[in-house]
Chains A and B, each alone.
Chain A
Amino acid sequence: MTAAGDRLGPTLFERSRPGRGGGKIPHPPKDALSRIPADHLRTDGPHLPEVAEPELTRHYVNLSQLNYALDTGFYPLGSCTMKFNPKVNEWAARLPGFADLHPFAPDELAQGTLQLLWELEQALAEIGGMRAVTLQPAAGAQGELTGILMVRAYHRARGDFGRTEVLVPDSAHGTNPATASMAGFRTIEIPAAADGGIDLDGFRAHLGPTTAAVMITNPSTLGLFESRIGELLEAVHAAGALAYMDGANLNAIMGRFKPGEAGFDLMHINVHKTFSTPHGGGGPGAGPVGVGEKLLPFLPWPRVLREPDGTFRTERPGERPQSIGRMRAFAGSTGVLVRAYAYIRAHGAAGLREVSDDAVLAANYLKARLAGVLDIPFSRHCMHEFVASGATLKAQTGIRTLDVAKRLIDYGYHPPTIYFPLTVEEALLIEPTETEALETLDAFVAALRAIVDEAHNDPELLHSAPHSSPVRRLDETTAARQPNLRWRGMTGEQTPCPD
């Protein structure tokens, strides 16, 4: 049963009482549906909750307070770039001119949004060193799929059907191999070299006439800049393959490295990371994709074009026959893109370069301060994030990285990403971002130091952490073995939890 005095409340379905709520929508005439044959109509329900607005408001406000969020504290979740989400962006996306514009509005009614999208494409292309950008993909993973489908279309358009493989380093995000599979390719994972970087010989051994593309995250998921990237790009192109850059870590390199200039043929950008659009509890994001000259014809359809007279229009059906087609309905996640646009205009070139500089500075500072507290497997300067390891701590105390992470919750922090990359034992991937004050970083170091002390002196405290959170460690096994994925019925009373 739910314990007394805790912070958990009933579900909406338990709050429901017949007859509550209402007053939002005018009543329709009684015969509104009489023209519709009965066999098309629903005979029962839907049994949705009936809740009055005061209680509804408390329900959601109380639920919100069970969340840890960027607006409540430090969120050093590696590879996720949890930077501050500016409030003016939220205001902008809600302006009626943006929010109420129908996606099928004719171009002449949509000039403001089309101009914004076009300018955003130009800005992202400049930042990435790319020729053009599509804003259509709905998320980073969909950007990857968009990119790899373009790779496929490119090779096929040249009559080259033998390229069936995509090479990725073994430290890659899981989306890379999953994307390659969705686009019909086989993935070959190449182990990293001893210094954590690309193993050139490993790649060269597999590059050849069957290679469609390599997918490289740079900086890598270890937070390291791939210093041998130039040689790799040469080898990739010599083999007739294309080089895809996973732009998940773009926040480290704005103004320092333009992937397109360096030789990457295409890349995706996670605007919810680098360009401050909110993560929203798991989405929505957006995953624009930039391409070089070779891939221009294959960009998803339709694109936004600027006419010689300065007006904007969307491409017409059939205008670019080699396009891979549509990745989703309508133009894209425009509401998200408004926020990314606002962020870029607020910064300008110098501001974005400073963002990357400060992100890298903060990560290196944390890394330097944590040396001696946790293992730091790669000692060279990191980019915007770095990997620490709890391997020694585990050997000495039996305390796992999972326990350290859970104990950080008691100290008021969101834990870093743990057990990723898969290639580092007991990994913690720590990304402070550029928007955290020095005193926040120092306090985080102090907390980790204290936790390591506890690991030696009071390990049970860590095994059973967290202690202060709304709930404690969960029974994930039962959740998976006997899944309860939805509520059924309106009980009108608090239901005992499952046994």
Chain B
Amino acid sequence: MPYGPHTPEDRAAMLGAIGVASVDELFADIPAALRASELRLPPPETEAELADRLRRLAGRNRVDLVSFLGAGAYRHFVPAVVDQLLLRGEFYTAYTPYQPEISQGTLQTIYEYQSMMGELTGMDVVSASHYDGATATAEGALMTCRATHRERVLVSRGVHPHYRQTLCTYFGGADLVAEEIPLVADGPAAGTIDMAVLERMLADPDRPVAGVVVANPNFLGLLEPMAQAGRLAHAAGALFVSVVEPVSLAVLAAPASYGAEIACGEGQPLGIPLAYGGPYLGILACREALVRQIPGRLVGMTTDVDGRRAFVMTLRAREQDIRREKASSNICTNQALCALAASIYMAAIGPHGLRDVAALGAARAAELERALAESGAPRLHPGPYLNEFAVRVPNAPEVHRRLLARGVLAGLALAEVEPDDPSLADALLVCATEVTTADEIEVFAWALRDEIEQGRQLSLPGLADSRGGRAESGGRAETAGGHARHAIGDAR
């Protein structure tokens, strides 16, 4: 065993003190008929061998492409100080601060996280964190049902599809109803929540609505009329839940300012690595009136017996280890280390830095919009956006695949996640952040123009089998992209 300290003499001494001849005797309570068959696993590896294996596995992932992929997880610059401090063993090898006298480090960092997230969202109460944006949103929706004693929640189709699917799983378990509010199909408000339908859904007197859940920016990157949606929700006695992206809150209106009672979202953009989906940071915040409904840990300020300021987990009577089957959720842990990463990130770049991240992303996105439009891929929706938007590309999933071979990760082909929505069949969702460069935009735009032109030629009658044009014009973009065509296809 690589990390065990016991010598044979130690083990013998321990067995002697216990009064048994072998460790097998300690397992005598396992009935003979139920003892395990032989454990079959790959052989152990030394640290040198293991490091080599892990390096090779990591190397099989491709993270070198020019990427415009966001869709709920975002690439950002993370100052070096964030990870250096996260590597303090005193933070990452401690557990839940059950003993506050020797956990003030973790407790104060959580309190500071709650405070900073309270500032971003404008909310009074911020949970010490949930698993991710999807589960925080599901828990936020469940809160509205507990608070109003109603069983029906309306969720915008503009909420991230994974969040809607997760919410659906959670609501199925609780025998509650979640219904989708459609998005406007065309016109100036295309891609944002359909207010007329929302009003009709809220008007059903026999099926009162507990909460209305709307994302801003929405999954398609568009800014929603949050104040208006909130007013409709409130007029029907429902709570308003805002699903937010925290970097955007440096420049966009805070949920509290447009009347939301609950804010939730994904904290990954605040200095947390992409890491293929986690661990991330579920943001859940609410107004003071809902404090007893919010699930998960809360840290409060208090004093010790000597009058020193100190921090402690509080309002614990909501939690599973005390309330058991009557708890507000079964959540036990939080994402303390991820909340710490977000706190250090926010403190390291400061309020002006965070505004710069958001604004620079918006500026790069505008450049991207112009470049893609010139390449023949105009925006799909006319409304305002911050740093992410959908563009119309004929045969988008196929073009997306071809661009991979040119070293470009062209955002997300929306048909992959919304296969049932014909309006998104020919669309790529693309984003830019402060790390997106003009060169990257140029590479993408060139390659996309080339693919679109070839697509046009191929779709002309009589040219369907012609590959000559492809190879010719492909050369130019290959140079720009720096990757050989079909490199990805060969890797399979």
Contacts and interface: CB of A to CB of B under 8 A. Distances in A.
Interface stretch (A235-243, A362-370, A388-396): A362-370
A67 B65 contact: no
Contacts of B320: 141, 174-175, 177-178
Nearest to A437: B5
Contacts of B4: 354-355, 358, 434-435
Nearest to A139: B333
A305 interface: no
Nearest to A45: B119
Contact of B348 (A24, A65, A123, A342): A24
Given A138-B135, A349-B39, A225 B29 contact: yes
B203 interface: no
Contacts of A101: 61, 63, 274-276
Contacts of B333: 139-141, 282-285
Interface string A274-294: 001011111111100000000
Contact of B310 (A8, A65, A100, A224): A8
B40 A126 contact: yes
Contact of B173 (A21, A183, A262, A352): A183
Given A56-B344, A109-B65, A361-B15, A149 B44 contact: no
Contacts of A352: 39, 41
Most buried by B among A60, A126, A262, A360: A60
A105 to B, nearest CB: 7
Contacts of B327: 174, 178, 181
Interface string A76-120: 010010111110101111111111111111101111110110000
B50 A342 contact: yes
Nearest to B28: A381
A50 B351 contact: yes
B75 interface: yes
Contacts of A281: 91-92, 94-97, 103, 105-106, 109-110, 336-337, 340
A4 to B, nearest CB: 11
Contacts of B459: none
A25 interface: yes
A331 interface: yes
Contacts of A91: 51
A71 B92 CA distance: 9
Contact of A409 (B20, B101, B125): B101
B18 A1 contact: no
A2 interface: yes
Given A108-B404, A329-B163, A485 B126 contact: yes
B101 A48 contact: no
B47 interface: yes
A342 B336 CA distance: 22
B166 to A, nearest CB: 5
Interface string A378-405: 0011000000000000000000000001
B350 A283 contact: no
A129 to B, nearest CB: 7
Nearest to B306: A472
**In this complex, which of B83, B299, B492 has the most chain A Cβ atoms within 10 angstroms of its Cβ?**
B492
Interface string B22-52: 0101111111011111111111110100110
B168 A325 contact: yes
Q: How large is the interface on B (under 10, 10 to 19, 20 to 34, 35 or more residues)?
A: 35 or more
Contact of A71 (B6, B90, B306, B321): B90
B92 A105 contact: no
Contact of B347 (A48, A85, A255): A48
B34 to A, nearest CB: 4
A282 B106 contact: yes
Nearest to B65: A109
Contacts of B289: none
Given A174-B324, A354-B1, A498-B303, A362 B14 contact: yes
B39 A25 contact: no
Interface in B389-404: 400-401, 404
B205 interface: no
A68 B94 contact: yes
Contacts of B334: 282-283
Given A3-B308, A28-B359, A355-B4, A145 B39 contact: no
Indicate the member of A32, A56, A180 with the most B CB atoms within 10 Å: A32
A175 B333 CA distance: 11
A471 B308 contact: yes
Contacts of B382: none
A21 B174 contact: no
Contacts of A361: 6, 11, 14-15, 18, 23, 26
B356 A178 contact: no
A435 B348 contact: no
Contacts of B412: 104
A472 B305 contact: yes
Nearest to B48: A88
Given A258-B36, A326-B162, A406 B362 contact: no
Contacts of B89: 69-72
A484 interface: yes
A495 to B, nearest CB: 9
B322 interface: yes
Given A103-B277, A254-B39, A328-B131, A88 B47 contact: yes
B447 to A, nearest CB: 16
Contacts of A256: 27, 30, 35-36
A466 B305 CA distance: 11
Nearest to A172: B324
Nearest to B27: A256
Contacts of B452: none
B91 A280 contact: yes
Contacts of B322: 174
Contacts of A106: 400-401, 404, 409, 488
Nearest to A476: B312
B132 A138 contact: yes
Given A110-B276, A182-B174, A257 B34 contact: yes
Contacts of A186: 325
Contact of B302 (A46, A102, A183, A474): A474
Interface in A328-357: 328-336, 338, 342, 344-355, 357
Given A40-B252, A282-B95, A98 B349 contact: no
B3 A332 contact: no
Interface in A157-190: 173-175, 177-184, 186-187
B326 interface: yes
A348 B253 contact: no
B273 A335 contact: yes
Given A281-B340, A438-B13, A497-B308, A175 B330 contact: yes
A49 to B, nearest CB: 5
B34 A229 contact: yes
Contacts of A77: 95, 98
Given A72-B89, A184-B174, A230-B33, A347 B44 contact: yes
Interface string B80-102: 01011101111111111111111
B169 A11 contact: no
Given A27-B356, A352-B39, A472-B101, A483 B305 contact: no
B298 A282 contact: no
B108 interface: yes
Given A112-B59, A435-B5, A479-B300, A381 B29 contact: yes
A478 interface: yes
Given A48-B120, A67-B90, 13 more contacts: A12-B347, A51-B350, A71-B89, A100-B273, A103-B275, A115-B60, A123-B41, A281-B92, A283-B336, A346-B45, A437-B10, A483-B291, A487-B115
| The 4 residue pairs across chains A and B that have the minimum distance between CB atoms | A330-B277, A97-B58, A71-B89, A112-B60
10 contacts: A32-B366, A46-B249, A50-B350, A66-B102, A86-B2, A141-B330, A280-B94, A283-B335, A330-B277, A486-B126
